[in-house]
Structure 1
Amino acid sequence: MTQDWNNIPTSHQIPHTRFLVDYFIKLPTQVTAFFLTHWHYDHYRGLGPNFQQGLIYCSPITARLLERITLVDPQWIVAKHNNEPFLVEHVQVTFLDANHCPGSVMILFQTPEGSNYLHTGDMRYTPDLKEEWKILNNICLDAVYLDTTYCHRRYRFPCQEKTIQRIVDIIQNSIGRDSHSNEIHCTSRHTLYLIATYGIGKERIMDALIQKGYRIYASPDKWKVLQCLEYWDSCLLNDSFTTEPCASPIWLVGWNRVAENVPGRLLPNFEALEDMLYMANYYRNKVNSSQHGLLQRVVACIPTGWTWQGNNREYLQEKDHSRLSVYGIPYSEHSNYEELYHFIAWLRPKQVIPTVSFSSSKRQPKHPFDHLLAGTQVKRAFLQKWLNNNPKESCEDDDKQSTQQLHNQPKIARKGDILSYFKASPFNS
């Protein structure tokens, strides 16, 4: 089934081209190239063995995942490395590290007409990445297609390093390491540790546990995915992962095994945790080895920014006298509100286009980044000079005020106000 271009969301279209980004369903017939920012289902939905509508440009890691896991015919996959510009239909395209999941990229499009568009896909901004993104320093961006997953003042969750350390601390507080072997064993509490992950993502948490000497259980399906990731080659070789359930009490599990993830809240599934505990003990009984005692307790760590409470209180729900514990850790591979603010303040694009859908609230709050867009300072200064006969303030002075303005913005109290902020795109016409 095909559809007209006008029915495709603006967040997937690149102006002056017939390119689509992260869109593979109900396709129009005139698409000349597809781009995939990363291998998460909400971005590659529609891809599979029967796809043959055109070339898909992506990173090498994403290419391997498409070929080996999604089973896309390799003839349709074109792998490109970061920071190496290439031409597609006379448009210069450059991939940049998105700091999201392995293989994730932002995509810079530079058209022959002189227009520049940056599609972030899903990303997490940190100032340290400015050096790697230096190609953006001297470019006037006509639009940034922004990952607005957490673009609400409420979401100012901590950096990844702090949240990763919290997960490590939770596990280290109740697990001991055998100094005479490369194996880890449960303490007297006989605890099963569950870490919720997607098909891909949260690898930095795994890496932190491996660095502490812990071994991690991955299901056969998860194992296939890990084998597609370049970074994990050494981990796979040194036996940091195992596909034997009894070989480690630290398990990687899918979200549906521990909780329901609803944007803005977390609903632990204690019945599923009971099932996981039963399954773990079933495997231990099956091997009938004295070195594997029965597990009596479950601690589940759910890393997602949606658990952020807006303060330093930790999300924790327990059942049956702490036999089942669920920790919500605000670890995220998306930018928080402040990071998005500073990202746009640095780029100063002419327009921001959100890539994430928001609530259906009828309220239309003002665009929170309006004063950061290119030209805004000039317009404001001109009006002030005209009204007050004052000299125009320099853009540099206005830049210095950006961070202060971030903290001076009025708070939005209602949870339902998650971004309706962005103005309609001029590219819709």
Structure 2
Amino acid sequence: MRKQGRKEELVQSKYFSIDSYFKSPPNKKIKTAFQDQIEQQLSTLEARKEQCPLCCTMISVESVSMQVHVNGCLDSQQEKAGTSNETTPDCAVDSSQTAQNVETKETVMNQCDMIENVVAEDYPIENDVNDLYETILEEKGKEREGSVKIEDVTSSGVVQHNNESTVKAASGLSRILPSSWKSLFSSSSTVVTPLLQRSTNNALNPPISKQRPCPFYKRVRDTRFTVDAFNFGKISDCDGYFLTHYHSDHYGGLKSKWSHGPIYCSQVTANLVKQELRVDRRYVHPLPMNELYPIPDSNVTIALIDANHCPGSVLFLFIVKMPDGSQVRHLHTGDFRASPRMCLHPLIRQPDNPPINCLYLDTTYLNPQYAFPAQEECIHAVCELVKRELNPEKEIETKKASLLDNWIKKTPDPMNLLNPSSTPNKSRVLIVVGTYTIGKERVFFNIAKMLKCKIYASPKKAKILLCQEDEELKSMMTSNPMEAQVHVGFLRDIRGDIMSNYLRDHQTHFDSLIAFKPTGWTYKSSSSQTSDMKLAPLSHIIIPPSDRTLHISPYYDRGNIKLFGVPYSEHSSFRELASFIASLKIFHIIPTVNINQLQSMKTYFDKWEEEKLTKRIEVVAYPSLNHW
């Protein structure tokens, strides 16, 4: 009776029972049309995902978060390896590593949350994966005779069998899928073959297509040139490749074995390409700034103009001679922070110069919610904050010191009398500024200049900074971290736990730390301000804010560590983009960022162009040549 009673207590379901579950035939699945549809949708979603090569997290390849996340992981690995071309991530293939990744999920999520706040101006896509993959094959190929050679892998990922030994080594391994990151990035194996094995999961390994065609927005109209299009292999109808600046989402695909054609860029970018990517210098052609330069064997004259983005970043002004003898002018901004100085440049200013036929525009922040302050305002606010942190007593109105206090201050320390060379043990504040591989230099440079102190950066970072050929910056740098009060770090490291450990490593010379995280993503307008700006006419959008006061408060304040987010961006804000467009006569605008939002961006462009038709084109009023 007791057993029967217990049996009646079992939970009954109208869909299935425990008995029916075990009595059903093995491997038999009954699916409805709805279930088939759901599985098909899930399969489609899975096919759009790829694994991070380091933390093995599945992230959509169409999202910016994927690109930024992978870049953070790769930067971390590159830092450990010493050089970017020797990076070997340690994401294993087996399930035991996956289990370990689950255990470190909290750590990974913390890193991802931080990386998500980084502006999408330095993220590689599959080019970094291919670079690391080639490095792995090169090293493994030396260890194993008959391995697949790098030259045997075409740009489409197909292994070419050039000899019998290679055929044997690559037997059954005819394709290499960029999406199979987990297997490509194994460092535990000592042979090449496991690196090339395909996963049996078709959802994670969609069929390989032919080499991706170069997108229209990377081709310069009326020419045989492309801009920032190194990720598409050899482009058949391209006579030259232009590089706007040294950020990995722009130089992606450019590596040491480059042989597809000449690369045109600024001198600083050329220094970085040759030093960091080790590209054959015969292909790298640095061009002068602010001068018209005819490109050999072409109908194009080019001019490079400072893009106000990162060191070496430029706008490309293409002046194209047409078959009928007329000229058209195309302006490619790359990534830029728009300023009145650009619109007043002798080669761009209107009506002194003809209109811009095609404007290839950096539309990273073409959204009303991004109305962050000017760079000068951010730097001024940071410097004022540093002053307050270093001299907190000046913030408080103190009463006159008593006679006793004055006497104590004036009385010399007897220990110092015995040892004149000794100095009082003063409290010192360590200042850390987060940066990208290249970018955000103005923040730490201006702090150090104000304090008249040295700047410390890791040997790898210092080597990159020296590529700028800036003598003043060079004179301020030191290789001894204890000599410098301003240290250069990475944006991803501006976290409480990491900064706590960093201060502990330098506690012999510093007893407190303040750190800055400069990025435009830290600032967003309110929902009401955003909605008002969406409906506002161009004449209203370009009006500067009445109150330009910037207050910075810490987002982390514990003990002797304070972390500050600074709305300092090296991309144009929404208002600056509107001011730039309003200052020039432009026939066509071609966005180069957030192409999936093309229609919404076109709405702004059409509306603004309609308003411009009723007014004379002139540079929008500005308080400074450096910002609107």
Matching residue of 2:216: 10
Matching residue of 2:78: none
CA RMSD of aligned residues (A): 2.8
1:347 aligns with 2:573: no
Matching residue of 2:266: 59
Q: Within 5 A, what are the aligned runs for 1:166-245?
A: 166-175=381-390, 188=427, 190-212=428-450, 213-230=452-469, 232-237=470-475, 240-245=476-481
Which one of the candidate residues 323, 331, 338 is aligned to 2:568?
331
Matching residue of 1:318: 556
Which one of the candidate residues 271, 275, 291 is aligned to 2:497?
271
1:16–1:362 Cα change, 3 Å: closer
1:105 aligns with 2:314: yes
Contact 1:93-1:110 within 8 A present in 2 as well: yes
Matching residue of 1:150: 365
Whole-angstrom CA distance in 1 between matches of 2:305 and 2:211: 27
Structure 1 range deviating more: 104-113 or 302-311: 302-311
1:49 aligns with 2:256: yes
Contact 1:307-1:315 within 8 A present in 2 as well: no
Whole-angstrom CA distance in 1 between matches of 2:380 and 2:460: 27
1:217–1:71 Cα change, 3 Å: same
Q: Shift of residue 322 of structure 1?
A: 4.4
Matching residue of 2:304: 95
Whole-angstrom CA distance in 1 between matches of 2:426 and 2:431: 12
Q: Shift of residue 256 of structure 1?
A: 2.2
Whole-angstrom CA distance in 1 between matches of 2:568 and 2:502: 23
1:187–1:199 Cα change, 3 Å: farther
2:488 partner SS: strand
Q: Within 5 A, what are the aligned runs for 1:60-75?
A: 60-75=267-282
Give the aligned residue type for 1:21. V
Give the aligned residue type for 1:61. V
Whole-angstrom CA distance in 2 between matches of 1:149 and 1:361: 11
Matching residue of 2:593: 356
1:141 aligns with 2:356: yes
Give the aligned residue type for 1:275. N
Q: Shift of residue 365 of structure 1?
A: 6.7
- With the length of structure 2 as denominator, give the TM-score of the two structures: 0.51
1:315–1:46 Cα change, 3 Å: farther
1:77 aligns with 2:284: yes
How big is each residue's C-alpha offset from its partner over 1:99-144, in whole Å with a ceiling of 9 and x where there is no partner? 2222211001122223321100111122133332543522222211
Whole-angstrom CA distance in 2 between matches of 1:186 and 1:340: 51
- What residue ranges of structure 1 are gaps of 5+ in the alignment? 177-184, 259-268, 285-291, 379-393, 404-429
Give the aligned residue type for 2:580. F
- Larger RCO: Structure 1 or Structure 2 (Cα < 8 Å, ≥ 6 residues apart)? 1
2:230 partner SS: coil
1:159–1:216 Cα change, 3 Å: same
Give the aligned residue type for 1:65. L
Give the aligned residue type for 1:105. V
Decide which structure has the larger Cα Rg and report it. 2
1:123 aligns with 2:330: no
Percent identity for Structure 1 against Structure 2? 32
Contact 1:143-1:353 within 8 A present in 2 as well: yes
How big is each residue's C-alpha offset from its partner over 1:257-290, in whole Å with a ceiling of 9 and x where there is no partner? 22xxxxxxxxxx3222233223334xx4xxxxxx
Whole-angstrom CA distance in 1 between matches of 2:382 and 2:426: 17
Higher strand share: 1
Equivalences, count: 349
Whole-angstrom CA distance in 2 between matches of 1:334 and 1:215: 28
1:356–1:158 Cα change, 3 Å: same
- With the length of structure 1 as denominator, give the TM-score of the two structures: 0.74
1:249 partner SS: strand
1:34 aligns with 2:273: no
Matching residue of 1:19: 225
Whole-angstrom CA distance in 2 between matches of 1:361 and 1:369: 13
Q: Shift of residue 376 of structure 1?
A: 7.1
Q: Shift of residue 377 of structure 1?
A: 5.7
1:155–1:186 Cα change, 3 Å: farther
Give the aligned residue type for 1:53. H
1:61–1:306 Cα change, 3 Å: same
